[in-house]
Amino acid sequence: MAKYILKKIIDKHLIAFSLCAFIIISLTLITFLALANQFEWKAISNIINNHYSRYVISFTFWQATMSTIASICLAIPIARSLHRRHKFIGRNLILKFINLSFVLPAITLILGIIIIHGKNGWINNIIHKIFSTSFDYYLYGILGVIIGHLTFCLPLAVRILLNCLESIPQETWRLTTQLNLSSFNIFKIVEWPHLKSSTISVAILIFMMCFSSFAIVLSLGGGPAVTTLEVIIYQALKLDFDLPYATGLALIQLTICTILMFFLYKYNTPLFRPILFKDKYFERPDSKKLSALIIDILSILILFIITVMPIIAILTNGFNNKFLAVLYSAELWHSATQSLLISLCSGALTLSLAFGLTSGAFYIKYTLNKPKFAKYILLISNIRLMVPTFVFSTGLFIVLNNLIDIKNIYFILIIIMNSIAALPFATSIILPPSLEFSSQELYLCQSLDIKGWNFIKLIYWPRMRKSISYALALVITISWGDLGITALFNNTNLITLPYLLYNMMSSYYIEEAAVVALVILLSSFFLFWIIEELLGGEENVKA
Amino acid sequence: MKLSSLLFIFFFLIPSFLSAENTKRKLVIYSTKGFSVSWKNPKHPFKKQFEAECNCTVEFLALGGTSAILSKLMLEGKQSPADLVIGLDNNLIDKAEKLGLFTQHNLNMSNLTIPIKWDNQYLVPYDYGYLSFIYNSKKLKTPPSSIEDLANSPNIKIIMPDPRSSTLGLGLVAWIRLAYQERAVEIWQKLKQNIVTVTKSWSDGYNLFLKGEADMLLSYNSSPAYNMIAEDNYDIKAAEFSEGHYLQIELIGKLKLAKEPELADQFLSFVLSHSFQHSIPINNYMFPVIDIGEDLPKEYAKLFIPAKVFMTTPKQMQENRNLWIQEWLNTFSRK
């Protein structure tokens, strides 16, 4: 009886879900079908027999492994230090910054990294002044790729690990103080059990992100020796239009990433939760030692140099003598308008898809009563971490080319691809809290005859408002700053802000690029802030 | 209802509004980034000149390298808006023909003054030059005398474009291969030490060279003419190499699926006319393909003309391009 009644509230969810799952799955299938008649098994054996592609595959593994190890090895001490120094003045600022790190567009950070680490960069200049020598081109190569990956992955890892440390109960700390454990033993006995599963899932996530890394490797790799599968797929499509080769490479990447993805879901941790700020802290027993103080200063300094400095570099370099000239150029405003249109559209599309998937999970959990299975709905949203973006978009382009006027294809395609890219973030923010309704609450709704639109308006929206506005702000800002597939299709009619920046950077117009980067950076913060402010509303919920 | 109408506006009305156009006939030309400087130059407005002649508008779309343009045409297929492609060259003739995208030009090529006989039915030459390394003679006092000499001086830093994305880079690979045959691999092993960075295109590398990030840049023997004419700077020179130089001829082709075939034909004839050709040495800083007499700036007399010239046939390129590029790639993946 109860089950039957519950069905009534949520049967509409099933329709929305099936529609969205259908859209995503059929997009993927269409892509592969479009490429299937181009595909030959010979291509795979060609890839395996080719010296260079073997080298690229192994190098892709190598750089992803190195980046992951570097991120984790730095993130653990940094998270510990931030946890230990909860009174330190800049802490809140750094934590807020880490929370925002997803908003920062990759391409602007790359420019910041070049300003700091380039041949005429800050570090080389300092070294030159003190030792009158310089490291020259240390940036371009594997080191540059690792530095680039660290800039993105370190805040992510620190945030998740810090959240784990914060979840250790205060009583435990009281106990450790009484037991007088050494710092290492605190880590081994108290912290590691809390960190273990999160560390593994963060490591897998970072490995996947670095494995399919594109913009960083393309900009900082510095040539054919430092490259990834994703980059050579891009080159095969853009330069040779070699569909069999690209599809073969894509299948290899798909296989590897799908395996990794299932491991990731084995260790399921909430990866995108913002850091919680606590009011009360119990003083950690190891915070008074001098050695701890030195380690803390060092690790917070490293975090600052790696993640905050590129932003400072953009802020200081952006206001240069080209600032007004670029700001008044029609080019900038034209691309800003197009970017805005694209990011709003893809924001709306992403959120709709995320809601579709969420209602599916809702249905599976509450009506079918299979809560474990509901979690795996998230997998569908992660399609972009498995299928290489460029293969995806080329396949779709081939299909759309027979259906729509070519002038509109690029526009629609960018929106679709941006949405698929932002979908994992939106879903992982919206889905888990949507499943936190208790059955009692739902039965109560049922008995009060609150269903359909009323359920969403009176129950769902007030509770989910914060998460939804956070998700929307995040996905719109991500599309706003995402270089995405514009690099593949170089269409002169459709130039987004990040693509404008990319063009300026690849032509080495560093000053103009710095201005555009500054504009993107500030507008990203503004967009994020205004959307959260407008939609997020006040904390108090109407009764 | 509201949502669907909003979506409709976003996805259909706005894009079609953005692409609203006027009714004049329009010739669409896909061009390389390198060629884009020449139509943007307001002093030598050959674009305006042609538009007045044909009573149409000409739209140039700068799309990066030649390979990227060919891929884009393949992808766009029948829906491609392009009529002509400018910026192809002799290194890609076989590829362009194999794709079957171009149509015959039916032009008389007898008055061409390029160093070789031209009998290609599909592509029309519009300028040429010899691959050379340029340098600042104030900074680099003793330039290398050959590629091998360069490879043996690891302190001389060079910038080269990627042979996969730039045909200039492909030209260098072919040049070294033709000049050194089997020893090419060995030369590249050493030359690797000289390379500061591999850029996507010539123009990317040129900006870096201007910033003083390298001693030499792969360019053309005619490039110093730019510094002499436009900047009154006589310090930039092209190094003459004893083994000879590689010839690059830049080409324009008319597409089979051109929307405006007559306009395209008209533009092809225009390319071989005196008015277009005399803008080549002062815009593109390359050699014109017909004799333009007094209109060739006197600075061109200061440039060296190589005694020995290398050039690949389309057949040679078709058989060896991937092989040579693989050879080049492998030197980078071998430590």
Q: What is the dihedral of CA B325, B327, B331, B332, to 10 degrees?
A: 30
pLDDT value of position A1: 36
A211-256 pLDDT tens trace: 988 888 887 876 778 889 999 998 888 888 888 888 889 888 888 8
- Global pTM reads 0.82
User: In chain B, pLDDT over 90 holds for what percent of residues?
Assistant: 47
Q: Which residue has the tokens 């992100």?
A: A209
User: Do residues B195 and B160 make contact, with C-beta atoms less than 8 angstroms apart?
Assistant: yes
pLDDT at A371: 74
- Are B326 and A52 within 8 A, CB to CB? yes
CB crowding B36-66: b at 16 or more within 10 Å, else e:
bebbeeeebebbeebeeebebebbbbbbbbb
d(CA A250, CA A243): 10
Residue that wins the pLDDT comparison between B331 and B290: B290
User: Is residue A156's pLDDT more than 80?
Assistant: yes
CA distance B203 to B226: 14
pLDDT of the residue at B278: 87
- Note whether A152 and A75 are within 8 A (CB): no
Tokens at residue A535, please? Answer: 């939609």
Are A239 and B207 inside 8 Å of each other by CB?
no
The DSSP code sequence of A181-207 is --HHHIIIIIIHHHHHHHHHHHHHHHH
User: Is residue A261 pLDDT above 80, yes or no?
Assistant: yes
- Reported for B167-171, long-range contacts at CB under 8 A and 24+ positions apart, including other chains, are B167/B65, B167/B66, B167/B67, B167/B89, B167/B91, B167/B92, B167/B248, B168/B131, B168/B201, B168/B202, B168/B218, B168/B219, B168/B248, B169/B198, B169/B218, B170/B91, B170/B92, B170/B321, B170/B325, B171/B91, B171/B131, B171/B246, B171/B248
Confidence of residue A373 (pLDDT cuts 50, 70, 90): confident
Q: How many CB pairs under 8 A join A and B?
A: 103
Determine the pLDDT at residue B179: 95
CB contact under 8 A, A241 and B70: yes
Which of the four pLDDT bands, split at 50, 70 and 90, describes residue A2?
A: very low
pLDDT in tens, A311-365: 899 999 888 888 888 888 888 998 999 999 999 999 999 988 888 888 778 777 7
Q: Worst-scoring range by mean pLDDT, A3-12, A189-198, A219-228, B48-57?
A: A3-12
Give every CB contact of residue B74 below 8 A, 6+ residues apart in sequence. Answer: A241, B99, B101
Encode pLDDT of B117-174 as tens digits: 898 899 999 999 999 999 999 989 999 999 999 999 999 999 898 898 888 999 999 9
| Residue B253 banded pLDDT, cuts 50, 70, 90 | very high
**Contacts with B204 from chain A: Cβ below 8 Å:** 506-508
Residue A263 has pLDDT above 90, yes or no: no
Does any CB of chain A come closer than 8 Å to the CB of residue B100?
A: no
Cβ–Cβ under 8 Å, residues A322 and A511: yes
- The overall average pLDDT reported for chain B is 86
Residue A416 CB partners (closer than 8 Å, separation 6+): A27, A346, A349, A396
Average pLDDT for A294-315? 91
Backbone dihedral angles phi then psi of residue B235, each to the nearest 5 degrees: -85, -30
What is the rounded distance in angstroms from the CA atom of residue B78 to the CA atom of residue A412? Answer: 19
Cα of B276 to nearest chain A Cα, Å: 25
Distance CA A162, CA A275 (A): 8
pLDDT of residue A279: 61
C-alpha distances in Å from residue A516, one per residue of A8, A320, A325, A537: 52, 11, 11, 31
Calpha distance B161→B200 (Å, rounded): 6
Predicted local confidence at residue B269, as pLDDT:
93
Query: What does the pLDDT read at residue B147?
Result: 95
Specify whether the backbone of A132 is left (phi greater than 0), alpha (psi in -120 to 50) or beta.
left
Let me know how many helices (H) and strands (E) chain B has, helices first. Answer: 15, 12
- Neighboring chain B residues of A406 at a CB cutoff of 8 Å: 76, 79-81
- The residue ranking higher by pLDDT, A491 or A63, is A63
Element (H, E) at A49: helix A41-49
Q: Which position has the higher pLDDT, A23 or B247?
A: B247
* Cα(B267)–Cα(A100) distance, integer angstroms: 53
pLDDT at B144: 95
Six token digits for residue B145: 């005398």
Q: Tell whether B16 lies on the interface with A, counting CB pairs under 8 A.
A: yes
Q: Is the pLDDT of residue A71 over 90?
A: yes
Interchain contact, A140 vs B197, CB within 8 Å: yes
- Name, in order, each residue with C-beta under 8 angstroms of B55's C-beta and a sequence gap of 6 or more: B24, B25
CA distance A381 to B195: 43
Note the pLDDT of residue A51.
84
Asked if pLDDT for residue A474 goes beyond 50, the answer is yes
Q: For chain B, positions 190-219, list CB contacts with chain A under 8 A.
A: 195-198, 200, 203-204, 207-208, 211, 213
